[in-house]
Amino acid sequence: MVASKLSNVDFSKYFQPPSLKDARRRRHEAVHIINDFSIPDDIHEIGKGKKYLIETYGCQMNEHDTEVMAGILEEMGYEETSEPEQAAILLINTCAIRENAENKVFGHIGKYKALKREKPDMVLGICGCMAQEESVVNKILEKYPWVDLIFGTHNIHRLPQLLREAFFGKEMVVEVWSKEGDIVENLPQSRHGHFQAWVNIMYGCDKFCTYCIVPYTRGKERSRRPEEIIAEVRDLARQGYKEVTLLGQNVNAYGKDLKDLENYGLGNLMDEMRKIGIPRIRFTTSHPKDFDDHLINVLGKGGNLCEHIHLPVQSGNSEILKIMGRGYTRERYLDLFHKIKAAVPNASFTTDIIVGFPNETDEQFEDTLSLVRECRFDGAFTFIYSPRAGTPAARMKDNVPMEVKKERLQRLNDLIDQFSAESNAKYQDKIVEVLVEGESRKNSNVLSGHTRTNKVVNFSGPKSLVGQLVSVKITEAKQWSLDGDWQREPEVAGR
């Protein structure tokens, strides 16, 4: 499995370049649950007195993978540092979703050339989604020979063994698995916070939206057993965590692969979550196609299930949605949206939108604007389409000039801003529950946190409130955040 930096290495063994045909076959492969993580004795304490730094790009899934890698490194004795100069191990956990994310990472790898020259014993490793791409690995081998280690998203649990190879070998260690079927349980995790936690409920994606690289970099959809998830969340509750976010690339497909559990889906899991004594449960990311009535009914029960739904639409035009391979039309999205809104009346909605998909016409883009006007989203992540090598959309000829795409993005963002401000204005003078996360980024005298509906709230108060649920009266609704006054009283429970 480990390849060294030799020009005659056959990399086809280690990589699976994006291939829709091959990737679709994988659905029939069995899922293995690996439970035997351990750190070999000879390197168990190798990190004592040394430091590590992990730079993380991309989504919450990556952030959580970083927590797992940090947990492994801390078990080996390493301590975290934020200074690259102090790190004995420097890992870059990468994101492949758009080209600009990748360019940023290449910039950083370039930047560390000088540091590696000064500190030749430091291990510089590249991991995450970019490492799953053959073209990226080849580029690193060719142009960035000061990198010591490359590993992918499927073999994080082998970090100790890979580090041993990197410490004691002379050549670049490359281990990227193309297999898609494993779930590794019982890995150590060093969670970043003590009151908010991420919990993976499933891995991978089988949706194969035609623009997206994720199904290739993250492998096939595979769900963790509900009993494992419930035990993990119960344990977090016992430790006093206040908020848990259940994670997956397509959480609504949860349970489909658990063949022994008949019709067990995200709705069932969320119903279990309601019984656990954690004040807030969130989940992300949803796919409209798999969002079923059972889940809607369970969300309608409220309790600790937060009223915020992130429901990526991508486009408001049915033809574009079809070419994107999204599996729903504009009308079906809107039906679903209104159904959830009716069941969870106070819910906030956010979405993801891509503009400038190949050959998107002005009229088709106007459909996206009109859908935004109908849904009045609380916020949206908006992107210009970025071709990803190996995906079907990257092979489509595109007649939309970049200037036009940029203009569309601007128009879309202006509209989103308008609705964000409008939805924030509704909070004026209301008292909301805020989970206090820390000092505001802009002003250390101000505390900052989120409402259940995921709105940012800033207010003055003692630092001792960090990690607590407090009541705040909104005094000023701004475009992106809410300002308020802390209501001195004990913690509020529930809604």
Residues annotated in a binding site = 59, 95, 129, 205, 209, 212
Asked whether position 388 contacts ligand SF4 by CB under 6 A, the answer is no
Which C-beta is closer to ligand SF4: that of 66 or that of 249? 249
Q: If you ran DSSP here, which 8-state letter would residue 346 be given?
A: T
- Residue 355 and residue 461: Cα distance in Å, rounded? 41
| 383 interacts with, out of ligand 5AD, ligand SF4, none, CB within 5 to 8 A per kind | ligand 5AD
Partner whose footprint covers residue 282, from ligand SF4, ligand 5AD, none (CB < 5 to 8 Å by kind): none
CB of 334 to ligand SF4, least distance (A): 19
Given CA atoms 231, 235, 240, 246 in this order, what sign does their dihedral have? negative
How far apart are the C-alpha atoms of 221 and 230, rounded to whole Å? 19
Which residues are CB-contacts of 43 (< 8 A; sequence separation ≥ 6)? 76, 160, 163, 164, 167
DSSP state, residue 45: T
Give the pairing type, strands 79-80 and 51-56.
Answer: parallel
Measured between alpha carbons, how far is 176 from 172 in angstroms, rounded to an integer?
A: 13
97's contact among ligand SF4, ligand 5AD, none, with CB below 5 to 8 A by partner kind, is ligand 5AD
Give the torsion sign (CA, 311, 231, 79, 115).
negative
The entry of ligand 5AD, ligand SF4, none that residue 413 binds, CB within 5 to 8 Å by partner kind? none
- Find the binding residues for ligand SF4 in span 215-234 (CB under 6 A): 215
Look at residue 453 and give its three-state secondary structure.
coil
Footprint of ligand SF4 on residues 260-299 (CB under 6 A)? 287
Strands (E), 78-163: 79-80, 89-94, 123-128, 149-151
Nearer to ligand 5AD, 354 or 482 (CB): 354
- The residues, ordered by sequence, that sit 6+ positions from 405 with a Cβ below 8 Å of its Cβ are 355, 356, 384, 385
User: Which of the choices ligand 5AD, ligand SF4, none does residue 457 contact, using the CB cut-off of 5 to 8 A by kind?
Assistant: none
Residue 157 sits in the site that holds ligand SF4 (CB under 6 A)? no
Decide: is 405 part of the binding site for ligand SF4 (CB under 6 A): no
Phi, then psi, of 352 in degrees rounded to 5: -115, 140
Q: Which residues ranging from 198 to 217 are in contact with ligand SF4 (CB under 6 A)?
A: 205, 207-209, 212, 214-215
Structure tokens at 345: 């009346």
Calpha distance 355→140 (Å, rounded): 31
Q: With respect to ligand 5AD, which residue has the nearer C-beta, 388 or 452? A: 388
> Residues, the chain, total?
495
**What DSSP character marks residue 259?**
T
Nearer to ligand SF4, 79 or 352 (CB): 352
Task: Assess whether the previous peptide bond of 453 is cis (omega < 30° from 0).
Answer: no
Q: Closest CB to ligand SF4 among 96 and 432? A: 96
Cβ 279 to ligand 5AD, closest distance in Å? 27
d(CA 473, CA 459): 9
Nearer to ligand SF4, 208 or 459 (CB): 208
Partner from ligand SF4, ligand 5AD, none binding residue 310, C-beta < 5-8 Å depending on class: none
Between 2 and 389, name the residue whose CB sits nearer to ligand 5AD.
Answer: 389
Q: Which residues bind ligand 5AD (CB under 6 A)?
A: 97-98, 211-212, 312, 314, 352, 354, 383, 385-386, 388
Q: Which is nearer to ligand 5AD, 14 or 383 (CB)?
A: 383
Which residues of 108-195 form beta strands (DSSP E)?
123-128, 149-151, 173-175, 182-184
How many residues lie near ligand SF4 (CB under 6 A)? 10
Q: Quick one: what does residue 250 bind among ligand SF4, ligand 5AD, none, with the CB cut-off 5 to 8 Å set by partner type?
A: ligand SF4
Cβ-Cβ contacts under 8 Å for 407 (sequence gap 6 or more): none
Which residue ranges are tagged as binding site for [4Fe-4S] cluster?
A: 59, 95, 129, 205, 209, 212
Closest to 242 in 3D by CA, of 266, 216, 272, 278: 278
Q: What, of ligand 5AD, ligand SF4, none, does residue 354 touch, CB below 5 to 8 Å by kind?
A: ligand 5AD
Footprint on this chain of ligand SF4 (rule: CB under 6 A): 205, 207-209, 212, 214-215, 249-250, 287
